[in-house]
Amino acid sequence: MKDEPFDWGLLISHSIHPIRIAAVEAMRWIEEPFSAVDLKRMHEEDPPSVEVIAYHLRVLATELPMFRVYETERIRGATRRLYFFRHWTPVSQRSNPAP
């Protein structure tokens, strides 16, 4: 048993909540900050509630140093939080070098 290879990928995929994995993959793919509502809209089938998504985004931003609340704004009495990677610049904010 000790000589058998350990499947870290299997352990991690079963240890990290799927919403957190989806959030990271979405950030990497679109390269823009987004909110819990935005991530809910990205789910094709049976999306989790905004509250559940917001919880998992908060956990990513508070427990992992690579994520942060990128921006907040007040909308009709609620606070919209946009999340993104701490050291990344959104693609919309990058300067394009001249050809």
State percent of the chain over pLDDT 70.
94
What CA–CA distance (Å, rounded) separates 99 from 56? 41
* CA angle in degrees (0–180, nearest 5) for 20-24-25: 115
Domain boundaries 17-88, CATH class: mainly alpha
User: From CA 81, how far away is CA 35, in angstroms rounded?
Assistant: 6
Angle at 45 between CA 85 and CA 55, to 5 degrees: 40
46: helix, strand or coil = coil
State the pTM of this model. 0.79
Section 19-34 average pLDDT: 93
Range of weakest confidence among 43-47, 80-84, 89-93, 94-98? 94-98
